Structure 1
Amino acid sequence: MRAAHEAGRLVVQPRMGFSDPARMRRGLAATRNARATTVGTLTLDSYTRVGDTAAVDEALRLGTGINGYPIVNYSREQTREVLAGLHGPGFPVQVRHGSAKPFHIFEALVRAGLSATEGGPVSYCLPYGRTPLDQSVREWDRSSRLFSQLRESGVEPHLESFGGCMLGQLCPPSLLVAISALEALFFHRCGIRSISVSYAQQTHPEQDVEAVAALRALCARLLPDTVWHVVIYTYMGVYPTTDAGSYALLGEAARLAARTGSERIIVKTVAESRRIPTIEENVAALEYASDVAAAEAAVPALGAGAGDRQGGGPRPDSQTYTEAAALVDAVLNLHDDVGQALLLAFKRGYLDVPYCVHPDNMGRTRSFIDGTGRLRWATTGALPIGRVAEASGNRRVTSRELLDALTYIQRTFDDEAFRSPLPG
């Protein structure tokens, strides 16, 4: 990852996962052979995510489709056959899963010889079900400590926080930045020394640039003895339905990665709003994102220093940084153990995700998209940012406004698609 970044190349990655081993291997091979600097992905199925291995066995027996690679049910030898000749130092493969209770997944990926995965005790709990947060924290602590033991055999395990993608949309950037940084520190305290932090593209390009700079500044402070990098996620909410709109949105994400000096990007395809994409659609997205990022990186930054384009430090008065730092500091002041601090933070409302219905989320915060397209706090609940947040008092968000906000990106980019042709 570092070598690619130093060479000025953005690493591009799909969210690819197939239940059939032969198709999964073809997908990894196509990713590796794409005209881009890539890493591979094994995205697991939803049964494996919740630990329902019996349902996986039944689906495999009947030949019915499942929506990802069932790494726990397949033998170590089967997965190693999928990876043989592909996975290695020049082509890492990351396991993506979505599990709040992932110990069985960590055991399986370690057996298979894999050393990269992602998630987190908050980001893989609150959005995906009703698993109690304290159970998720315990499971992620146990799993991360198991994973860290790979270092004893000379393998450096890598963990990526999914915290910058909470609920995909309508979460103000400062909260995304804070949760991503806190989960990274959680991994660090469990013995992980190779970490990535995530940020999902939101509704306003300049606000996103500010957020990534804030994330970098916080990680530089919290993770001084850790190798870490930033991964940008293409928009995680309601996606454009047109091919041109989809490409335009992916292009904006690639430009964001280039402008902020981010090291890696997770792409989406033209099929995102309709179905699981094909291998060919994934490769097209990888190559397009790589080309756009390379073109953006080659353009001098008008009116900005090199540090701005390469992800330099944020302004001291950055709104996103001020809010995110206040959140992080308040949480860490609750308890010396980061896991316990996270639990206390949600119990007291110091962390509170807008529109999240998980029982352990207080649910007193709300957000809205202002007239410029920026995500802002409508009300901050008990968040410890009352003195610094750009909140609009107790602004009421109507159901109509919420629906409009949920479809804001889809409508914006599909409308633009009618005015612009598909990229050549």
Structure 2
Amino acid sequence: MLNGFPIVNYGTKICRTVTSALKNPVQVRHGTPDARLLTEISIAGGFTSYEGGGISYNIPYSKNFSLEKTIMYWQYTDRLVGMYEEAGVSINREPFGPLTGTLIPPCISNAVAVIETLLAAEQGVKDITVGYGQCGNVIQDVAAIRSLRELTNSYLKQYGYDDVRVTTVFHQWMGGFPQDEAKAFGVISWGSATAALAKATKVIVKTPHEAMGVPTKEANAAGLRATKQVISMLRDQSLVDIPVVEKESDIIVRETKCILDKVFELGKGDLAVGTVAAFEAGVLDIPFAPSRYNAGKVLPARDDNGAVRILDTGHLPFTEDLKAFHREKLEERSRFEHRPVSFQMVIDDVYAIGKGFLVGRP
């Protein structure tokens, strides 16, 4: 009845038995704030890709782990990966993009991805897959992957890491799922289509049992087959360079740069120090996170087209025109629904997908 694979308990020999029996590469996906021992055994056991980071596997997952500690723990993990790289063994690293998976504005997840990429590159990591969790508006989701790719490469180049390979991963819907299997396949296919149209390198697949607990192997296989079918049909189509995507992407880039520039400023050149200071100041703030090291001031809600906007920007260091952009987008919805912009919109949006909708209409 175990939901998972206890690598630390099994040790390298059993890990080798599994990884050697497979033709495809295998990634470790976990959720551990302190992953040092897990990293050692995983890579020695033949796993060739490793997910997580000092922010993305702390703030959305834990209450009492300090960022100073988890960033240091993950510097150890990234240095170990860097040592393997220097020895001629390339290990892929993947920051966890979706964070809490609930109405995360793309600028926040993109900022965390860029920070964790740079922290990894500092330790010698050469192969990084930056991730993003589906928000639901196709245009915004495609723009988010486009801007994530652009920003990650740009910041790596800016700081002298020209030899890092960057790929992208799109996570299918991370929020509430409908219990009906047919409806769940609809949600899975919708995520698959968006991943294909965004030209993401990889897609993380959900199952039709998502709403009910641990899926069977058959349910996992069914989710994979549905995803492959949609991606195969959309292989030759792209929305990456259409004008409306370019416009949304430009906004995400501007927002993300506002956050990242302040993080670097707070750290006075030390990205790890700047990250800790940014969370203390609310410059970095992840919605609905359990961590007491997270300000929890930022409040997202959907606009009238289902794109995630920010109802309360908290202490995010946005320019006034960006704040006005978010206000206007939510006021458009307010006028359509004949109700004020309020916290009730947030509540309605969180539960909407489980009820068969994207926007939580009254």
TM-score strictly above 0.5 = yes
Query: Partner of 2:8: helix, strand, or coil?
Result: coil
Q: Which residue of 1 aligns with 2:303?
A: 370
Q: Does 1:320 align with 2:258?
A: no
Query: Partner of 2:252: helix, strand, or coil?
Result: helix
Q: Which residue of 1 aligns with 2:355?
A: 411
Tell me the distance in 1 between the aligned counterparts of 2:6 and 2:135.
31
1:238-253 equivalent positions in 2, closer than 5 A: 238-253=176-191
Q: CA deviation at 1:316?
A: 8.7
Query: Partner of 2:10: helix, strand, or coil?
Result: coil
Query: Partner of 2:300: helix, strand, or coil?
Result: strand
Q: TM-score, normalised by structure 2?
A: 0.87
**Aligned counterpart for 2:66 among listed residues 132, 157, 162:** 132
Query: Partner of 1:79: helix, strand, or coil?
Result: helix
Query: Partner of 1:368: helix, strand, or coil?
Result: strand
Tell me the distance in 2 between the aligned counterparts of 1:317 and 1:229.
18
Tell me the distance in 1 between the aligned counterparts of 2:342 and 2:37.
41
1:304-343 equivalent positions in 2, closer than 5 A: 308=241, 314-315=246-247, 318-335=250-267, 336-343=269-276
Can you list the C-alpha shifts for 1:167-217, whole angstroms capped at 9, x where unaligned?
A: 111121111111112211111112101000001001311111111111111
- 8 Å CA contact 1:314, 1:321 repeated in 2: no
Tell me the distance in 2 between the aligned counterparts of 1:193 and 1:184.
10
Q: Structure 1's 141 and 414: CA in aligned 2 closer, same or farther, altered over 3 A?
A: closer
Q: CA deviation at 1:266?
A: 0.3
**Aligned counterpart for 1:181 among listed residues 91, 98, 114:** 114
- 8 Å CA contact 2:48, 2:91 repeated in 1: yes
The amino acid across from 1:207 in the alignment is: Q
Tell me the distance in 2 between the aligned counterparts of 1:339 and 1:255.
36
Q: CA deviation at 1:139?
A: 0.6
Give RMSD over aligned pairs: 2.4
Tell me the distance in 2 between the aligned counterparts of 1:154 and 1:317.
36
Q: Aligned residues: percent identity?
A: 30
1:218-297 equivalent positions in 2, closer than 5 A: 218-224=151-157, 225=162, 226-297=164-235
Q: Does 1:77 align with 2:13?
A: yes
**Aligned counterpart for 1:402 among listed residues 346, 357, 361:** 346
Tell me the distance in 2 between the aligned counterparts of 1:70 and 1:328.
36
1:155-234 equivalent positions in 2, closer than 5 A: 155-162=89-96, 164-224=97-157, 225=162, 226-234=164-172
Query: Partner of 2:210: helix, strand, or coil?
Result: coil
5+ residue gaps in structure 1? 1-64, 416-424
What number of residue pairs does the alignment pair up?
Answer: 339
Tell me the distance in 1 between the aligned counterparts of 2:301 and 2:3.
33
- 8 Å CA contact 1:204, 1:374 repeated in 2: yes
Tell me the distance in 1 between the aligned counterparts of 2:165 and 2:9.
32
Q: Which residue of 2 aligns with 1:391?
A: 326
Structure holding more helix per residue? 2
5+ residue gaps in structure 2? 331-339
**Aligned counterpart for 2:55 among listed residues 122, 128, 131:** 122
Q: CA deviation at 1:92?
A: 0.7
Q: CA deviation at 1:396?
A: 6.7
- 8 Å CA contact 1:240, 1:413 repeated in 2: no
- 8 Å CA contact 1:259, 1:308 repeated in 2: no
Q: CA deviation at 1:161?
A: 0.8
- 8 Å CA contact 2:172, 2:204 repeated in 1: yes
Q: Does 1:354 align with 2:261?
A: no
- Which stretch shifts more, 373-382 or 334-343? 334-343
